Amino acid sequence: MRFAVLGGDMRQVELARLLERDGHQVRRFAMEEAGGTPARCAGGLEEAVSGAETVILPVPAMRGEYLNAPLSRERITADELAGALVPGQAVLCGMPGEALSAALARRGVTCTDYFVREELTVKNAAATAEGAVEILLREMPVTLQGARVLVTGFGRIGKLLSLKLRALGAHVTCSARKPGDLALIECLGLTPVPTGELRGRLSGFSAVVNTVPALLLDRELLGELDEGCLCLDLASKPGGVDMEAARELGVRAIWALGLPGRVAPVTAGEAVRDAVYNIINESV
Amino acid sequence: MRFAVLGGDMRQVELARLLERDGHQVRRFAMEEAGGTPARCAGGLEEAVSGAETVILPVPAMRGEYLNAPLSRERITADELAGALVPGQAVLCGMPGEALSAALARRGVTCTDYFVREELTVKNAAATAEGAVEILLREMPVTLQGARVLVTGFGRIGKLLSLKLRALGAHVTCSARKPGDLALIECLGLTPVPTGELRGRLSGFSAVVNTVPALLLDRELLGELDEGCLCLDLASKPGGVDMEAARELGVRAIWALGLPGRVAPVTAGEAVRDAVYNIINESV
Amino acid sequence: MRFAVLGGDMRQVELARLLERDGHQVRRFAMEEAGGTPARCAGGLEEAVSGAETVILPVPAMRGEYLNAPLSRERITADELAGALVPGQAVLCGMPGEALSAALARRGVTCTDYFVREELTVKNAAATAEGAVEILLREMPVTLQGARVLVTGFGRIGKLLSLKLRALGAHVTCSARKPGDLALIECLGLTPVPTGELRGRLSGFSAVVNTVPALLLDRELLGELDEGCLCLDLASKPGGVDMEAARELGVRAIWALGLPGRVAPVTAGEAVRDAVYNIINESV
Amino acid sequence: MRFAVLGGDMRQVELARLLERDGHQVRRFAMEEAGGTPARCAGGLEEAVSGAETVILPVPAMRGEYLNAPLSRERITADELAGALVPGQAVLCGMPGEALSAALARRGVTCTDYFVREELTVKNAAATAEGAVEILLREMPVTLQGARVLVTGFGRIGKLLSLKLRALGAHVTCSARKPGDLALIECLGLTPVPTGELRGRLSGFSAVVNTVPALLLDRELLGELDEGCLCLDLASKPGGVDMEAARELGVRAIWALGLPGRVAPVTAGEAVRDAVYNIINESV
């Protein structure tokens, strides 16, 4: 098969390499500053996508008006991108957003969001959990072994992170809303606390990790944290920690986004590749 | 509060004891052969339920036409049970079935199925998983440490059991249908295999544990098992193993039902009690 | 090679089978009630050992005056055994004891104790730990998940058992004497308690497992246990639990010996086989 | 009690803080660049040690001719240090070395090496293992989950690190020399390989971590590593990796020393404090 791989971070760079290794023809574009890998990037956008059955964009596909391309100086709009494609080509991307979706639709190009694929979000959650463990190991002045850590939210990331922290010997408390989740938390050897009852129970932790994408750790809760307690937010925008209040209260707070591409670009690239293959196979 | 606790196995006996310990008035009926605990069972059905705000039946509530009461010689039909109750009393039970539901409705008695509560099914799954580990430890001539075990199905029981087996050092393969589940299996350190691709891959296991309540391990799959491989079915009726084929092929197969009440009656009783309290609190 | 495998439990039976499977010539004796396996036991002791380079006895080799042979009606003394052998033959056995060692020495037959081999004691410890988990799962009315368990002694069995219990979600307290062991207990996610400070700290446990082969759980300590707490002794004779006091105090106490051969005869047989091969290779 | 805490890294800074928090009088010296904590360092060496019953030096106590004091501009020789002390004062330090020991002995000052205390080396090993996990998470382009990692050496650090890596889902191979250790490796769910048989088996790993303080990973073994395999050396000097060969072969190699003080200064300081208290209590 012929692929064009455009934009993105090291995860996208690895994706291109992996597709090539599987025997496919791959053209890269808008990742010219990746270094390391031979600079086989095609000359221009038109040449890169020409002849490709499948064009793969990063996640998120766009940053504001332009293609999300942190490893490139190219600035490509949704319309420029759509204009370079021809009907019949398939675009696979993560979280396309309205502008890109509309531009591609006008052009008669199908657009599939691979980021909704469960197999990909699970693997991203696992990589995100590892990245969070790395940050905690680096930033905490105590060992995780024996430390008390609170994880707010018990979705994919919360689950996998809590299990990893417990495996490393931390005493992990997890918050959740549903009675069923609270029961599962207990059955996994973690300490449950209903989300609605967090108030008054935030002292004694060496770190708090939020995974809920809604303002959960507000000024009042942050004020309860012990001095020196690390506050790590893994939630996508708008995030779950009141960063301004944290600054004012002297709480050390870190907002970590895009961890999979940063901590494990090869694994993250493999996860995108597998989702891409699954999408192509299912569409046959 | 005043409770009547009727029928059931040791789990129900423990439930009665736990409610009493919490300060409630409890009358027992149809569990007179439980032993151990003082025989405070009330004289008859009418006396047992008289004055009780809440009447708790076991799971399943009925066995055929009669109240499910393996620790009793009483044989009580749905109509007799309903007839002893008065409108305003609440019945909490597991899987009431049509006949009992209808009889209670005719009598103006509300009936709530606690067995659909997620917090209960999760805890039952955990107890079932422990029971399965016990059976495997007892029946396998090799240690779980280092053994290869296949778990079919990745629902609550499949997940918790697989994690426990892995924690004990087994090499665990899990089958599932959805790509997302297969990814999660991998991220939990287990080996995934799509349910549709089990055929031809069943050799090399010391034990196979089924959790899927539909005929999965048919004659053909059973025929692939190594000599001496143990086949444990945890699925509720109709079960997932062709027991007749197993017998004919000389496969050692065990169908284990009702494990929570058998292996951990106190924990299982606590789980029912917590669900009962949650139901009562939510109905206020 | 030619082996004679004499006496012992199912572990010894499996050992014979495994040696045969590896292509060696094996004669069995004094295990005629094992069943299952084809009755290829030789006619008499002389025939069984005749021509064998290596004669393998069980662990312990003797029970009182006779060869340890629970699966046989034969009663063979140390002198009868030695008398059937010729100088140049090698005897491998576990814990020969003085009488047998002396009898073999008089006969000019070398005798090597395989039970002192670290690789065997480690594997026996692992199998013993699994057997203990099985007993706890079977006998405790609560799940191990969430239960508080005390393990006394932090040798091989104590270590492996504690890790398995923790892996299954129990809160595990371990006693040890040395500061280094207490530190390791903490670093493994377990709660340390100095052996000398057990007094006054035995309440709150659902089970206590002793691994120390000296009277540790005396009447006073047993008296501190909660009602219903299970007391499991894994220590070889003289054991570490005052069984008479336990009976009088109404403490449910179980003394489990010879677990490897009972719970995992195949794995235990493999461990003996590996030690036998190592001994033979090192003696070349 | 009155303590003087001299030199060292952040671990020593934390030690001083912890002793103070326990109610002791503490004077600091030669750690003036630590920052953060209030600069309560005493004016000079004489003033710092004057009146202190116990003087605590870092581990190692000396770097070349001078007190090991990376957070200070002071350069203090063994003789200057000894000269400031008076008979009856006790020096506690890690790995004093000959020159310091001799100088203190001449002065009539007792010197105790806390670094030989098992409870300290175990906790340092645990902190080192966490530090190694952090480095692997940061430097590997794949997740630890699912990665193949080789750990050479099965001492304290090797054991704890291997268990942590396995807990995070890595497939861990461990090398050791003794049959007993190889059996334990297997019983802990790791893959054993005899140290003498490493040759020819080093491909397929994403990372290799050495814990053996002797040249183990020589040019030939390094040459077997897959492209991109990370080589992490945790062994104290002289280290176990031929760093020059690594450079020439293009193997990415990292030599990480002093991890406890860097990754978990508070926990590492607590471990020293506990050892200090144990030494003082035992000497009473």
* C-beta separation of C118 from C195 below 8 A: no
The ipTM, to two decimals, is: 0.91
pLDDT digits (tens, 9 = 90+) for B178-201: 999 999 999 999 999 999 999 999
Question: Does the pLDDT of residue D278 top 60, yes or no?
Answer: yes
- D residues 75-114 near C, CB within 8 Å? none
* C-beta separation of A60 from A68 below 8 A: yes
Take residue B261 and report the two structure tokens written for it. 């009440």
pLDDT digits (tens, 9 = 90+) for D29-52: 999 988 755 455 556 899 999 999
What is the mean pLDDT of the segment spanning B241-263?
A: 95
- Backbone angles phi and psi of D76, in degrees to 5: -120, 125
- Among A217, A211, A230, A220, CA closest to A147: A230
> Which residue in the set D146, D188, D189 is minimally distant from B186, CB to CB?
D146
- Max CA distance (Å), chain D: 61
Take residue D62 and report the two structure tokens written for it. 């000396």
Share of chain B above pLDDT 90, in %: 92
Q: Rounded to an integer, what distance in angstroms lies between the CA atom of residue C269 and that of residue C256?
A: 19
- The distance of B55 to chain D (nearest Cα, Å) reads 46
pLDDT digits (tens, 9 = 90+) for B32-82: 988 765 455 556 899 999 999 999 999 999 999 999 999 999 999 999 999
Give the pairing of strands B62-63 and B66-67.
Answer: antiparallel
Q: Which residues on adjacent β-strands are paired with residue D207?
A: D149, D230
Asked if the C-beta of C273 comes within 8 angstroms of chain D's C-beta atoms, the answer is no
Could you give the C-alpha distances from B187 to B182, B274, D168, in angstroms and in order? 9, 32, 10
Note the pTM of the prediction, 2 decimals.
Answer: 0.93
> Which residue in the set A179, A186, A188 is minimally distant from B278, CB to CB?
A179
pLDDT at site D284: 72
In angstroms, the first-to-last Cα distance of chain B is 13
Asked if the C-beta of D188 comes within 8 angstroms of chain B's C-beta atoms, the answer is yes
User: What's domain B120-261's superfamily in CATH?
Assistant: NAD(P)-binding Rossmann-like Domain (3.40.50.720)
The domain spans of chain A are 2-116, 121-261
> Is the domain C121-261 a CATH 1.10.1040.10 member?
no
Contact A117/B179, CB-based, under 8 Å?
Answer: yes
Share of chain D above pLDDT 70, in %: 97
Contact A160/B126, CB-based, under 8 Å?
Answer: no
- The distance of A51 to chain D (nearest Cα, Å) reads 31
Can D2-116 and D121-261 be said to share one CATH topology? Answer: yes
- Backbone angles phi and psi of B176, in degrees to 5: -155, 165
Q: Rounded to an integer, what distance in angstroms lies between the CA atom of residue A117 and that of residue A34?
A: 27
- Backbone angles phi and psi of D98, in degrees to 5: -70, -45
Q: Rounded to an integer, what distance in angstroms lies between the CA atom of residue D242 and that of residue B45?
A: 83
Q: Rounded to an integer, what distance in angstroms lies between the CA atom of residue C274 and that of residue A173?
A: 45
CB atoms within 10 A of CB D63: 14
**With left for phi above 0 and alpha for psi between -120 and 50, is residue A95 left, alpha or beta?**
left
Take residue B154 and report the two structure tokens written for it. 């990745």
CATH topology of domain A2-116: Rossmann fold (3.40.50)
Asked if the C-beta of B278 comes within 8 angstroms of chain A's C-beta atoms, the answer is yes
Interface test with C, best of D184, D270, D280 (most C CBs within 10 A): D184
Question: Does the pLDDT of residue B159 top 70, yes or no?
Answer: yes
pLDDT at site D5: 96
- A residues 204-233 near B, CB within 8 Å? none
Q: Rounded to an integer, what distance in angstroms lies between the CA atom of residue D119 and that of residue A143?
A: 16
> Which residue in the set D137, D167, D266 is minimally distant from A167, CB to CB?
D167
Residues 6+ apart with CB under 8 A from C66: C75, C76, C77
Nearest residue in A to C143, CA atom: A187
- Among B235, B231, B206, CA closest to B221: B231
pLDDT digits (tens, 9 = 90+) for D216-266: 999 999 999 999 999 999 998 889 999 999 999 999 999 999 899 999 999
Asked if the C-beta of C142 comes within 8 angstroms of chain A's C-beta atoms, the answer is no
Residues of chain A short of pLDDT 50, as ranges, are 38
Q: Running along chain C, 284 residues long, what does each successive block of 10 average in pLDDT?
A: 95 95 95 69 83 95 95 94 94 94 93 95 96 97 97 97 97 96 96 97 98 96 97 94 97 95 94 95 84
DSSP string, A17-52: HHHHHTT-EEEEES-TT--SS-----SSHHHHHTT-
Q: What's the pLDDT band for B2 if we cut at 50, 70, 90?
A: very high
pLDDT at site A37: 55
Q: Rounded to an integer, what distance in angstroms lies between the CA atom of residue B56 and that of residue B61?
A: 9
